[in-house]
Amino acid sequence: MKQLEFIAGRLVKAVIVLLGIVILAFLLIRATPGDPAAVLAGEAGAVDAEFMQRVRAEFGLDRPMAEQLAIYVKQIATLQFGESYRQQRPVLDLITERLPATLLLTLSAFGIALLVGVSLGVTAARHVGRWPDMAITVAALVFFAVPLFWIGLMAILLFSVKLPWLPAFGMETVGADYDGIDALLDTIRHLILPATTLGLFYIAIYVRMTRASVIEVMDLDFVRTARAKGIPEGRIWRRHILRNALLPIVTLASIQAGNLVGGAVLTETVFAWPGIGRLAFDALLQRDYNLLLAVFIVTSALVILFNLIADLVYALVDPRIEVGA
Amino acid sequence: MTDTLLDIRDLRIALPAGADRPYAVDGVSLTLRRDEILCIVGESGSGKSLLANAVMGLLPGAVRIAGGSLHFDGTDLARLDPEAYRKLRGRRIAMIFQEPMTALNPIMTVGEQIDELLVAHGMTDKASRRRRVIDLLAATELPEPELLYHAYPFRLSGGQRQRVMIAAALALEPDILIADEPTTALDVTTQKQILTLIRDLQARRRIAVLFITHDFGVVAEIAHRVAVMQWGKVVEEGAAADVLVRPHHPYTQRLVAAVHGLSARPELAAHAAEPLLEVVGLSKTFRTSQGLFVRRRREVHALRQVSLTIHRGETVGLVGESGSGKTTLGHAIVRLVDTDAGEIRFRGADILAQGGARLRATRARIQMVFQDPFASLNPRHSVGRILTETPRIHGVGKAEAETRARRLLELVGLDASAFGRYPHEFSGGQRQRIGIARALALEPELIVADEPVSALDVSVQGQVLDLLADIRKRLGLAMLFITHDLRVAAQVCDTIAVMRRGELVEIGPAAEVFGKPRHDYTRRLLASVPGAGWTDRPGTRLTAG
C-alpha cells in the first residue's frame, strides 16, 4: 500500500517534470538558428521565399511561438508525437525501431562497467597503497580523462584496421543475412567495440567510487565487531564490507543507467550504431523538430523511470530506508 | 587448570614511526584470573585500548607487538596462526566496544548477527541456533526476543544495542569478556543497567572480565581489581577497595580526586536577585512529515512549557539524559532554533520578537560554548582570527580587537603566542579554552555552555571547570550549564534544573536538588551516577584536593 502510494506520487511528479522538459526543449530548439524549412529548401536547391513559406505553413511553423507550444503540448498529452518532417513517418515508429539497438548497447556497456569497475575497485581497496591499487587507480584515471570518441577511434584503428578482429561499424554484417545463432554471434561481434568503449569511461567512475566506499567501510566499527566474533575473513568481506560498501554504488548506478542513453550519442556516431543517439544527432542537423523533441521526451522518461527503480531497489537493499516513510 | 587465564608479561606495542612516542604500551605485565573483573583505568592515549586489541589479536595494521608475551590459558598467543586465533575470538575471548550505535552492521538483523557467530564456530543445526539466539536476547533482558530477532539495529536504542553486543559476546560462554568503555556512550540510567547486567552475568557464569574505563565512578561500581595506566605503563595496581580509598601513585590520586561527590559546593549560591534571563512557557515540537497524498506526521516534543529564570551571576545547571530537550533549550536561548510558543526575556525584553540590529546586539550579550572542541573551531582560521572576528563584526576596531584577544588568551590561561597558531596545534583542553575565550570576546552577560567538558579527559575536565568558575567570579557572568554529568553539575552550579522528555521536572538550589530530590526521576538519576555509594558515603574515601 505504502509502496503503491509512493510510486503513484512519483509518477505524478514525473509528469510534471516531463512537462517542464517538453517546454524547455521546445523553446531551446526554437532558439537555435535555422529551421526545417531552411534545411529542406537548401537540400532541394530551391531557396526561394515562396517555397519556404509553403513548407512553414505546412508544418505550422508560421504561427506564433506560444500557439505552436500550446498545440504541441496538447498533442503530447494525447501521446501524439507527430511525424518526422524529414522522413515523413510517425516519430514514434522511428524511435521504437531504434530504441532496442540503443538499449542493447547501453545496457551491455553498463553491465561491463559495473562488473569490471566494482571488481577492480574492490581489488584496489584490498591492496590499498600497494602496486595493484596504484595500477588500477592510474588506469582508471587515464580512461576517465581521455575523450570517449578518441578511445573509440583508437579502438577501431587497433582492432579493426591493424588487427582485423572485429567489425568497425554497424550492428550487423551488411548482406550476410545470418540466421539464428549466427545472427546473434554477428551482433555480439559488432557490439564488443562500442560497448567496451562506452563502458571504459564508466568503469573508471565505478573503480573510484567502489575503492573509496570499500576503504571507508573497512574501518567501520561493525567490521571490527565481526572480527571480534571470530567470523571468517571471507564472510566478513561478503556480508559486512561489500554489502555496505555497495549501497552508494547502487544509487550511482541507477542514476547513471538513465544517463547512459544520452551518453551513447557519441559512441553511436563513431561506430555508426543504428540507435537512438544517431537518430537524435541526425534530427538535430536537420532541425527535425518533432523527432528531436520526441527523442528528448523518451530519453527523459527513461531517466525518470530508472531513478524510480533506483529508489525502489535502494529500499530493498537498505532496511533503514522505507519506501514512502 | 590454573586460575590465571590471561598472563601478559612485559608487553610492548610499537607505534608507527612519527607518533608522539615509540611505544603505545611499554612494558606492561598483568594477569587476569578466572572469575574476576579487572578494570584498566586510564585517559585517552594511555594505551589501554591497544592493550585490549592486542589480546584479541586485532591490532591496527601499522601497530605491532614489539616485545614481551601474551599467554591465554597456557597458549602463547603470538605463536597462534590466524585461523586458530579466529577460532579463539568469539568462542573463548569475546569483546564489546564503546560505541553501540556503530558496532552493529546496519543492514543485518539482530538475530543474524548473533547467528553468524554460532555458525562461524561450528554450530550447524539451524533450529537450535535460533533457540540459542532467542535465549541470549532474553538473558540480556531485551524485550520480545522473538520479534527482536528480525529487527534491524536502527530500531534499537543505544542501551539495547549494547545488550545485543553483550548477548553476542556471551553466546558461546567465553572464558574472557573484554569490555572497552562499554557504557561511556550511554546515559547514566542506561549505564547503571548495563553495569548491573555485566556484573550479574559475570557472577553467574564465572567468567573473567577485562573492563576498560576512564571513570573511577564506574570502577567503584564494578571492579574487583584495578590497574591504572598512564602513557603506556601501569602505574598502580591493586584490589579495587584499596586503590579507591588509598591511591598511592600521584596520577591515580588525581584521577580519584577528579570524581567529585554529589554534594553542592557551599561557596556557590551567592548571586544577585535581579533576573537576567526569563524563559516563560517555552515549547518546541519538531515535526517531520512525509507522504504525498496523506501527510504522516512524526512529532517530537523537545520542549513542553518550559519556564526558567537565570539571575545575574547565577549558574544554572540543566541536567538530563539524551533527548530530554536540554540542548534545544540552549539553542532556543541563543536563537539557533525557532520555538513554537512562549517567551524568552533578556533584561526584560522579549528576544523572540527581535530581529535585525536589535537581535544582533542581544546576541553579543549571550554567547555559547560548544561541546566538541575539535569540531567547533574553524580549522582554517588562526586563533587570532577566531577571537577577533566577532568583535570586528560588532564594530570593534582592529587594534582594539587584537589587544582584547591577547588579554582573553591570558584570561583563559593560554600563552599570547597562541594568537597566530591554528586550532589543530592545540590539545582538546586547550581548544576548549580557546572556545571559552571566543565566547568571552564580546563581553557577554550570559554564557550558554553545552556539555563544555564532556569531550575532555577527566583530569582536563577539572582544569576547564576551574577556569569557568574563576571567570564567572571575575566577570560576574551568568551561565546556563548544560550537562548530562551530575558530578560536573554539582561542581559548578548554584541551581539545578532537571529535564526529562522536554519537561522541566524539578528546579531548585543545587544543595536541595542533590540532597532532597523531590521528583522520582531526579532520584533515579542520582542513584544511577556510577560510584555514588563510594563518593558520597562519609569516611569511605580520602578526599584528595
B13 in contact with A, Cβ within 8 Å: no
Beta carbons of A227 and B293 less than 8 Å apart: no
φ, ψ of residue B69 to 5 degrees: the values are: -140, 155
A239 in contact with B, Cβ within 8 Å: yes
Q: Mark which residues 68-97 of B lie under 8 Å from A by CB.
A: 86-91, 94-95, 97
Q: Which residues of chain A have pLDDT under 70?
A: 1-2, 43-47, 174-176, 258, 260-263, 322-325
Q: What is the pLDDT of residue B117?
A: 94
Kind plus residue range of the DSSP H or E element containing B234: strand B233-239
Residues 6+ apart with CB under 8 A from A42: none
Beta carbons of A235 and B116 less than 8 Å apart: yes
Q: Which residues of chain B have pLDDT under 70?
A: 1-2, 264-272, 288-298, 536-545
Beta carbons of A220 and B87 less than 8 Å apart: no
Model pTM? 0.79
Residues paired with residue B275 on neighbouring β-strands, in sequence order: B311
Q: What is the pLDDT of residue B207?
A: 92
Beta carbons of A222 and B103 less than 8 Å apart: yes
Beta carbons of B104 and A222 less than 8 Å apart: yes
Please state, in angstroms and rounded to a whole number, the distance separating the CA atoms of residues B151 and B134.
13
Q: What is the pLDDT of residue A45?
A: 67
φ, ψ of residue A4 to 5 degrees: the values are: -60, -45
Residues 6+ apart with CB under 8 A from B416: B406, B409, B410
Three cell numbers written together for B528: 544511577
Please tell me the distance in Å from B352's CA to the nearest CA on chain A.
Answer: 34
φ, ψ of residue B228 to 5 degrees: the values are: -100, 125
Please state, in angstroms and rounded to a whole number, the distance separating the CA atoms of residues B245 and B250.
13
Which one of B89, B109, B296 has the shortest CB-CB distance to A228?
B89
Residue from A1, A10, A229 to probe the interface with B (highest B Cβ count within 10 Å): A229
- Determine the straight-line distance between the first and last CA of chain B, rounded to whole angstroms: 46
Q: What is the pLDDT of residue A87?
A: 78
B208-213 sheet: strands from edge to edge: B93-96, B176-180, B208-213, B37-41, B225-230, B233-239
| Residue among A30, A13, A70 nearest A293 (CA) | A30
DSSP state of A158: I
Beta carbons of A222 and B105 less than 8 Å apart: yes
Q: In degrees, to the nearest 5, what angle opens at C-alpha B168 toward C-alphas B163 and B174?
A: 115
Chain A environment of B104 (Cβ under 8 Å) = 222, 225
Residue from B105, B173, B177, B210 to probe the interface with A (highest A Cβ count within 10 Å): B105
Write the pLDDT tens digit of every residue in B238-258: 999 899 989 999 999 988 887
Residue in chain A closest to B113 (alpha carbons) equals A226
DSSP state of B89: B
Q: Are B206 and B33 in contact (CB under 8 A)?
A: no
Residue in chain A closest to B98 (alpha carbons) equals A221
Write the pLDDT tens digit of every residue in B114-134: 999 999 999 889 999 999 999
A130 in contact with B, Cβ within 8 Å: no
Cα–Cα distances (Å) from A200 to A44, A169, A272, B25, B141, in that order, read 42, 18, 18, 49, 54
H helical segments located in B170-232: 188-205, 216-222
Q: Are B430 and B396 in contact (CB under 8 A)?
A: no
Residue in chain A closest to B171 (alpha carbons) equals A229
Beta carbons of A222 and B165 less than 8 Å apart: no
A180 in contact with B, Cβ within 8 Å: no
A64 in contact with B, Cβ within 8 Å: no
Q: What is the pLDDT of residue B177?
A: 94
Q: Are B423 and B377 in contact (CB under 8 A)?
A: yes
| Residue among B250, B211, B210, B260 nearest B230 (CA) | B250
